[in-house]
Amino acid sequence: MRGTAASLFLCLLLAGCQSLPRPADRLETPVLGARLDAALRVLASPRSSDPQRAQARVDYRDLVASHLPELLADAARPEHVRGPGSAPLSAPALVALGNDRPGVYAPATFADIAPVMRPDVTEPGLHRAGLGLSAVGRIVPGGANAPLAGYQVPLTLLAWPNHSPAGCCDAALVDPDRIRSVPTRYGKVAVAMDLEAPLDATRATGPRNWDGLTNLLRPDRFRGRPRIVFLQPFDPAKTPVVLVHGLMSTPRMWGSVVKPLLADAAIRAHYQFWFFYYPTSQPVPLSALQLREALDDTTRYHGVHRPMILVGHSMGGILARVQVSHVELDEAATINPKIKELPETNPVRRALVFEPRTDVSRVVFMFTPHRGSAFATNSIGAWGIRLIRLPETLIGELAHYAHLVPDSLDGRLPTSIHGLSPQSQFLRLLDGTRPSVPSHSIIGDRGRGTLATSSDGVVPYRSAHLDTVESEVVVPAGHSGIGHPQAIEELRRILHEGMTDAPAGP
């Protein structure tokens, strides 16, 4: 093999690799080539039994893992930078794959590459048995809207004997969701795929769950500004699905939703998932304005031209509804006439006077308190209001919101909990609007009493129900039941319906 070059590069690649076979398991290159060829023959032969193929896949994976540095060096060789129409390598076992072909990567793209030796299969649709060593590649820095720890990308390392005097093998590092099979000298073979390991490794759906409580009570500890975070690198050909979490939560709550949705190949091909991450203690209108600004910044930076789908849970549903609603200055003045005295650039005025976005095609409300929740006015809500410590940098700005707080709340500086009260003047104003795009409701019901008197434990049905939605599904779950199978199935149905909202392509 020609794997002695770029040793520093390979050391960086291997920084994240764990559980590799012991050095004693390494083979001389002619033996490695022969072993790889034998595994290829079994995997491609129609006469091979299922147990034989399973063992061949394990043997092949272990062989590639035990020679990972050399094979990554082979995958980086200049002769691999070729298009799909180029001439094949001499006597190849696989058709040559070039780094400039979609779905084929140069190893230098990644800060480190970690092989997946023991796949954790909880969503079968995210896995495919086949040829190759599954791995997770980390891209750092990932650019605007990337997770703080970088993108985690699914990879499969393929290797095949080249039968040349110069060395044992050739290799290619591929995207297994794009390159799903490869022809070999013995016949076509499926490429191994593990999309679950990158999802488990990603920080896009972080930080930790209990940070949601910290962000509620101590928003001054929130890192950075409210922002849009991508699950995967931006793809102009895919429609964004923007997931907006609710009170005392973080994007990590969407993990139980994203995995089963991405297990659907059609959804993977058509959509990309974004998350809005923000401290949840702020007044609801301010957080909705920050979502609007974050979406504006993101779409402008990336040149997004495909209409988005917004999905909001609980308070996040209110933030999503604001994006597709229209409130005029005179309507906002019914809360307080003084708003007309504020300049158009004032954040309070911008938070209360808005037009529907033109780049949203659908909105989904999950367990959303459109008319508020008694939680905001009971003893637990009052306890939460007393504990919230607003940062000094926001005190002056939030003071402008004091006139939005009902007198019954003693005029304290407003928080998100105030804004979720059934007495919230902003919710009442918003309830008089009609979403400008097709909208859908997913509502929880713990099964106590009739539907009209039911609740998910936090939001009553009468608050979550909207007459104007195109569809409403009630699932037997509590307020945190976004991962309930019926909720997932309804989201899947809505996303499939949304595939017709815009033509394919950038």
Query: In 264-300, which positions are buried (b, 16+ CB within 10 angstroms) versus exposed (e)?
Result: beebbebbbbbbbbbbbbbbbbbbbbbbbebbeebbe
pLDDT of 247 strictly over 50: yes
- pLDDT of 33 reads 86
Pairing status of strand 127-128 against strand 193-194: antiparallel
Quick check: is 427 in a domain? Answer: yes
Pairing status of strand 104-105 against strand 167-174: antiparallel
Where is mean pLDDT largest: 218-232, 311-325, 448-462? Answer: 311-325
Quick check: is 488 in a domain? Answer: yes
CA-nearest of 125, 124, 107 to 115 is 107
Angle at 235 between CA 482 and CA 323, to 5 degrees: 50
pLDDT of 482 strictly over 70: yes
Least confident among 5-14, 112-121, 148-157, 304-313: 5-14
| Segment holding 56, helix H or strand E | helix 50-66
Q: Which residue has the tokens 């650039």?
A: 345
Query: How far from 5 is each of 8, 70, 72, 162, CA to CA, in Å?
Result: 9, 10, 11, 19
Q: Are 233 and 99 found together in one domain?
A: no
Q: What percent of the chain has pLDDT over 70?
A: 74
Average pLDDT of the chain is 80
Q: Are 137 and 32 found together in one domain?
A: yes
Query: How far from 284 is each of 287, 318, 321, 385, 405, CA to CA, in Å?
Result: 5, 8, 11, 14, 12
Quick check: is 505 in a domain? Answer: no
Q: Are 234 and 383 found together in one domain?
A: yes
Least confident among 55-69, 119-133, 187-201, 330-344: 330-344
| CATH code of residue 472 | 3.40.50.1820
Which of 131, 163, 194 represents a domain boundary (last residue)?
A: 194
Quick check: is 503 in a domain? Answer: no
Q: Which two tokens stand for residue 476?
A: 């037997």
What type of residue sits at position 277?
A: Y
Under the banding of pLDDT at 50, 70 and 90, the label for residue 211 is: low
- pLDDT of 430 reads 95
What type of residue sits at position 37?
A: D
How far apart CA 288 and CA 300 sit, in angstroms, is 18
Quick check: is 215 in a domain? Answer: yes
CB atoms within 10 A of CB 53: 18
Q: Which domain holds residue 372?
A: 204-498
Q: Mean pLDDT across the stretch 161-181?
A: 82
- pLDDT of 423 reads 79
Under the banding of pLDDT at 50, 70 and 90, the label for residue 401 is: low
| Segment holding 138, helix H or strand E | strand 133-139
Q: Mean pLDDT across the stretch 377-392?
A: 41
Quick check: is 367 in a domain? Answer: yes
Q: Mean pLDDT across the stretch 306-324?
A: 96
pLDDT of 354 strictly over 50: yes
Q: What is the DSSP string of 62-78?
A: HHHHHTHHHHHHHHT-G
Q: Are 100 and 222 found together in one domain?
A: no
Quick check: is 133 in a domain? Answer: yes
Q: Are 369 and 419 found together in one domain?
A: yes
Q: Are 214 and 98 found together in one domain?
A: no
Angle at 336 between CA 333 and CA 342, to 5 degrees: 75
- pLDDT of 292 reads 98
How far apart CA 92 and CA 106 sit, in angstroms, is 20
Q: Are 190 and 208 found together in one domain?
A: no
Quick check: is 199 in a domain? Answer: no
| Segment holding 365, helix H or strand E | strand 360-366
Pairing status of strand 360-366 against strand 439-444: parallel
pLDDT of 20 strictly over 50: no
DSSP 139: E
Q: Mean pLDDT across the stretch 484-503?
A: 92
Which of 168, 194, 220 represents a domain boundary (last residue)?
A: 194
Q: Are 397 and 254 found together in one domain?
A: yes
Q: Are 263 and 407 found together in one domain?
A: yes
Number of domains comprising the chain = 2
- Give yes or no for a contact between 378 and 345, defined as CB atoms under 8 angstroms apart: no
pLDDT of 404 strictly over 60: no
Q: Are 40 and 126 found together in one domain?
A: yes
- pLDDT of 15 reads 36
Q: Are 16 and 114 found together in one domain?
A: yes
- pLDDT of 31 reads 83
Burial of 129 (0-12, 13-18, 19+ CB in 10 A): middle
pTM: 0.83
Under the banding of pLDDT at 50, 70 and 90, the label for residue 395 is: very low
Q: Are 289 and 153 found together in one domain?
A: no
Which of 151, 174, 194 represents a domain boundary (last residue)?
A: 194
